[in-house]
């Protein structure tokens, strides 16, 4: 698309477009078959660079650029998986700073893609120049415009800036430069929107886009005016400490400004961005002091680096000049070695960091709940080099649909959200999905509890419902069979575990489910299944029910909405940000309501922690919630180690679906039964409560 503009410009300017073969390979470069987002390679540069140097030197440069691109892409995955927090985790200045810095740092993916593309083209004999140049070290807006996506800058300058400048030069050189820059950045906005249209199918007209490019254009124009009025002095022959410190702070300041601008550009709405940056108010003097000290330390390191490079001649290692492929070969060897499973495990034991996400597509914590993507993330997601989230989405088979599209669910107009239709039989995510006459994802049970039977009501979500596995292979059915086979509660005592789990259900859905569906079945035990990231799931489902006009049913929830000024029309981010600080107390109140219902109905309340394969556990959350449940009178069981010693990838339904497969359910059932067998006091309490002693 943009090469067509460059080609037309060259032809109109009287330049040769080359012969037919040259025109064909200019428009059909090999890497462009894989990468939709592609560097805007200048036609004249492309033609002049063809074997402009000895072939060996060009090929060597290409291999280095390819290796550099791969390193950038792996760095992107590391930042994405381990360093970038979810916006829902931003609650003060420290977490906001971390979010701003690492969301801006995701641009390394674009740099990696462009380096890789240009490197491959070099391997065909085209001596292309650098695509990016240390863009995080820019000192001002003009500097970053020169360093970031250099091919794009050259394209805009050649095709738009110079023609505009020379047409209006009569108004004065400086004025013409300023006007041309402002017009070019207006065109810049339009071309990015045009690119979005051709790749995504819609033309974005958002306040974020308009203000981002307007601010950037005005800043570059002011920078140009300042440099014209106050030209930079020639670097001194002796090291100037004050100048070095000034440069360091300029680089840091520019990085901070760009991180803030980037967060604005990539936010869904201005309201979301305002809520996000508003968390900066929630901070302490000590946190501000730590941040200031950190910035000062970085400035000191920058100054020290400038002094070192000023005083020290360029370092040349003896063999690298004769063997220029040695650095990229060594780097690639290290990366390949680190990719080996045994080496990864050793690194995990030594450093405590699992680097699996760097080498295998996995979602980070936020993308497992929502989609976090900005301009380039969305565009790259539409190319063949997807973001991790898009990559997994594209691998899904056509029949991998949500429960709501399967026809097995019934919408409810209260906090319960949905229930299952009775007597269903269908295929769901690769497993046979059946429901019994009571509308449970379970085997058939009599409505009246048989004699010498202990009934357990299992309340949970998608794991309990058994997404993607046959009904008879859900962990509750496996556990029920093992418990009855072993005679855990007595030789003549039968256990029935009624599965009330439904995909997407969390605490308050389970409260309503127990009250309306389970209590009539006269359960002896209430078994509530909690999972990782429990409080966020609870809050999100409250928002989902409230925003879709459902009746919240319980006075506690209705009062919670009123007391915190929550409205049904509020955006999700604002709603969750309001309730996030109260997450644990909201969970406690839900546990209290469920506990009181269970004891009133004559059921023993049990809180059970069931692990997931999503790796999104909030440190300390399970311990806090277990302590809350225990203080309310629940019996508690933790099954954290159910998957221990097993590769999580072998326990998932599919690469794109982290629900446990048949083996995963079997491991959960095994850990469940083991925990109960190891607790004779619990078994005795149940027998005593049910009169089965």
Q: What would the DSSP string read from start to end of 641-656?
A: GGGTTS-GGGTEEETT
Is the pLDDT reported for residue 354 higher than 70? no
What is the tens place of the pLDDT at every residue in 500-544?
A: 999 999 999 999 999 999 999 999 999 999 999 899 999 999 999
**Burial class, 242, CB count within 10 angstroms (exposed 0-12 / middle 13-18 / buried 19+):** exposed
Q: How many CA atoms lie within 13 A of 27 on its CB side?
A: 13
The closest alpha carbon to 341, from 325, 328, 360, belongs to: 360
Sign of CA dihedral 593, 598, 601, 602: negative
**Burial class, 136, CB count within 10 angstroms (exposed 0-12 / middle 13-18 / buried 19+):** middle
Is the pLDDT reported for residue 415 higher than 80? yes
SS3 362: coil
Give whole-number Cα distances, 396 to 278, 389, 393, 468, in Å.
38, 11, 6, 13
Provide the pLDDT confidence category of residue 399 given band limits of 50, 70 and 90: low
The closest alpha carbon to 38, from 79, 83, 75, 1, belongs to: 1
Core vs surface per residue 291-311: b (16+ CB within 10 A) or e: eeeebeeebeebbeebeeeee
Cα-Cα-Cα-Cα torsion 151, 156, 159, 165, nearest 10 degrees, comes to: -140
What is the distance between the alpha carbons of residues 643 and 164, in angstroms, rounded to a whole number? 65
CB atoms under 10 Å from CB of 149, counted, come to 20
Which tokens belong to 246?
Answer: 């000034």
- Higher-pLDDT residue of 187, 278: 187
Q: Compute the mean pLDDT over every residue in the chain, rounded to the nearest whole number.
A: 85
**Residue 443 dihedral angles phi and psi, to the nearest 5°:** -70, 170
What is the distance between the alpha carbons of residues 547 and 575, in angstroms, rounded to a whole number? 10
Provide the pLDDT confidence category of residue 13 given band limits of 50, 70 and 90: confident
- Specify the pLDDT at position 375: 47
Q: Provide CB contacts within 8 A for 149, sequence distance 6+.
A: 39, 110, 114, 131, 132
- Higher-pLDDT residue of 71, 334: 71
Q: Provide CB contacts within 8 A for 575, sequence distance 6+.
A: 543, 546, 547, 566
Q: No. of H helices and E strands in the chain?
A: 30, 11
What is the tens place of the pLDDT at every residue in 80-117?
A: 877 888 777 788 888 899 999 999 998 998 899 999 99
H helix or E strand, kind and range, residue 427 = strand 425-428
- Specify the pLDDT at position 32: 85
Fold of 409-690: Rossmann fold (3.40.50)
Which segments of the chain belong to CATH 3.40.50.1110? 409-690
Contact 508, 538 (CB under 8 A): yes
What is the distance between the alpha carbons of residues 265 and 270, in angstroms, rounded to a whole number? 9
Cα-Cα-Cα-Cα torsion 611, 614, 615, 618, nearest 10 degrees, comes to: -70
- Specify the pLDDT at position 179: 93
- Higher-pLDDT residue of 33, 522: 522
SS3 551: strand
- Higher-pLDDT residue of 655, 459: 459
- Specify the pLDDT at position 508: 97
- DSSP label of 40: -
**Residue 133 dihedral angles phi and psi, to the nearest 5°:** -140, 95
- The listed range with the strongest mean pLDDT (309-323, 385-399, 568-582) is 568-582
The closest alpha carbon to 430, from 397, 452, 475, 460, belongs to: 397
What is the tens place of the pLDDT at every residue in 576-628?
A: 888 988 999 999 999 999 999 999 999 999 999 999 988 777 888 999 999 99
**Region label for 468, one of left (φ > 0), alpha (ψ between -120 and 50) or beta (otherwise):** left
Which tokens belong to 349?
Answer: 């034991």
What is the distance between the alpha carbons of residues 621 and 453, in angstroms, rounded to a whole number? 35
Contact 77, 357 (CB under 8 A): yes
Share of the chain above pLDDT 70, in %: 86
Share of the chain above pLDDT 90, in %: 50
Rg (CA), the chain: 31
Mean pLDDT of 625-643: 94
Mean pLDDT of 349-370: 55
- Higher-pLDDT residue of 363, 166: 166
3-state helix, strand, coil in the chain (%, to 5): 60, 10, 30
Quickly tell me which residue has 């971390």 as its tokens. Answer: 98
Give whole-number Cα distances, 522 to 234, 441, 453, 603, 632, in Å.
87, 18, 11, 8, 22
- DSSP label of 458: E
What is the distance between the alpha carbons of residues 613 and 643, in angstroms, rounded to a whole number? 9
CB atoms under 10 Å from CB of 215, counted, come to 16
- Specify the pLDDT at position 521: 95
Which tokens belong to 200?
Answer: 């995504």
* Total residue length of the chain: 693
Long-range CB pairs of 287-295, under 8 A, 24+ apart, other chains included: 287/92, 287/93, 287/94, 288/93, 290/94, 291/93, 291/94, 291/97, 295/252
Is the pLDDT reported for residue 231 higher than 80? no
Contact 495, 680 (CB under 8 A): no
- Specify the pLDDT at position 337: 67
- Specify the pLDDT at position 83: 84
Does pTM surpass 0.85? no
């Amino acid at each position: 698309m943009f090469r067509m503009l460059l080609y037309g410009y060259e032809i109109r300017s009287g330049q040769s477009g080359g012969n037919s073969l040259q025109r064909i390979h200019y428009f059909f470069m090999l890497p462009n078959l894989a990468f939709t987002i592609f560097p805007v390679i200048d036609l004249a540069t492309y033609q002049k660079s063809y074997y402009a140097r000895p072939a060996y030197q060009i090929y060597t440069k290409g291999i280095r650029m390819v290796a550099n691109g791969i390193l950038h892409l792996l760095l992107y995955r590391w930042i994405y998986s381990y360093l970038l927090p979810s916006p829902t985790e931003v609650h003060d200045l420290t977490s906001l700073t971390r979010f701003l810095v690492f969301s801006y740092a995701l641009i390394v993916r674009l740099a990696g893609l462009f380096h890789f593309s240009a490197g491959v083209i070099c391997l065909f004999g085209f001596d292309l120049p650098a695509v990016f140049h240390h863009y995080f070290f820019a000192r001002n807006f003009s500097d970053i415009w020169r360093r970031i996506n250099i091919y794009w800058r050259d394209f805009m300058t050649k095709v738009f800036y110079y023609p505009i400048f020379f047409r209006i030069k009569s108004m004065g050189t400086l004025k013409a430069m300023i006007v041309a820059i402002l017009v070019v950045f207006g065109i810049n906005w339009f071309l990015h929107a045009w690119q979005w249209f051709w790749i995504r199918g819609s033309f974005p007209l958002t306040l974020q886009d308009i203000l981002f490019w307007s601010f950037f254009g005005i800043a570059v124009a002011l920078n140009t005016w300042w440099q014209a009025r106050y030209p930079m002095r020639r670097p001194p022959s002796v090291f100037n400490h004050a100048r070095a410190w000034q440069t360091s702070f300029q680089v840091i300041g520019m990085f901070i400004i760009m991180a803030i601008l980037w967060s604005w550009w990539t936010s869904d709405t201005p309201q979301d961005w305002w809520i996000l940056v508003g968390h900066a108010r929630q901070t302490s003097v000590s946190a501000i002091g730590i941040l200031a000290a950190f910035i000062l330390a970085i400035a000191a390191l920058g100054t020290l680096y400038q002094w070192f490079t000023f005083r020290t001649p360029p370092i040349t290692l003896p063999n690298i000049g004769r063997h220029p492929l040695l650095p990229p070969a060594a780097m690639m060897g290290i990366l390949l070695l680190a990719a080996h499973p045994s080496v990864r495990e050793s690194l995990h034991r030594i450093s405590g960091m699992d680097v699996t996400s760097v080498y295998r597509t996995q979602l980070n914590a936020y993308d497992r709940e929502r989609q976090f993507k900005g301009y380039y993330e969305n565009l790259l997601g539409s190319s063949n080099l997807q973001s991790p989230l898009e990559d997994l989405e594209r691998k899904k088979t056509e029949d991998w649909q949500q429960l709501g599209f399967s026809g097995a669910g019934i919408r409810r107009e209260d906090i319960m959200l949905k229930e299952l239709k009775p007597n269903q039989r269908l295929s769901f995510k690769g497993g046979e999905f059946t429901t019994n006459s009571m509308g449970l994802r379970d085997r058939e049970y009599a409505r009246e509890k048989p004699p010498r039977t202990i009934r357990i009501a299992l309340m949970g979500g998608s794991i309990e419902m058994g997404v993607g596995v046959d009904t008879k292979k859900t962990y509750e059915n496996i556990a029920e069979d093992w418990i009855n086979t072993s005679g855990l509660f007595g030789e003549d005592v039968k256990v029935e575990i009624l599965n009330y789990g439904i995909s997407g259900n969390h605490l308050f859905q389970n409260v309503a489910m127990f009250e309306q569906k389970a209590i009539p079945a006269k359960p002896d035990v209430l078994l509530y299944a909690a999972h990782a990231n429990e409080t966020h799931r609870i809050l999100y489902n409250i928002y989902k029910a409230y925003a879709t006009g459902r009746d919240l049913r319980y006075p506690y929830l209705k009062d919670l909405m009123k007391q915190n000024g929550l409205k049904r029309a509020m955006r999700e981010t604002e709603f969750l940000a309001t309730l996030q600080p109260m997450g644990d107390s909201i969970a406690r109140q839900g546990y209290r309501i469920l506990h009181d219902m269970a004891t009133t109905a004559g059921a023993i309340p049990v809180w059970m922690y069931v692990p997931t394969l999503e790796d999104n556990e909030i440190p300390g959350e399970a311990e806090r919630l277990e302590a809350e449940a225990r203080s309310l009178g629940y019996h508690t069981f933790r099954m954290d180690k159910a998957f221990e010693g097993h590769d999580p990838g072998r326990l998932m339904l599919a690469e794109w679906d982290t629900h446990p497969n048949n083996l995963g359910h079997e491991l959960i059932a095994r850990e469940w039964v083991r925990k109960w067998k190891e607790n004779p006091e619990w078994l005795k309490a149940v027998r005593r409560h049910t009169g089965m002693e």
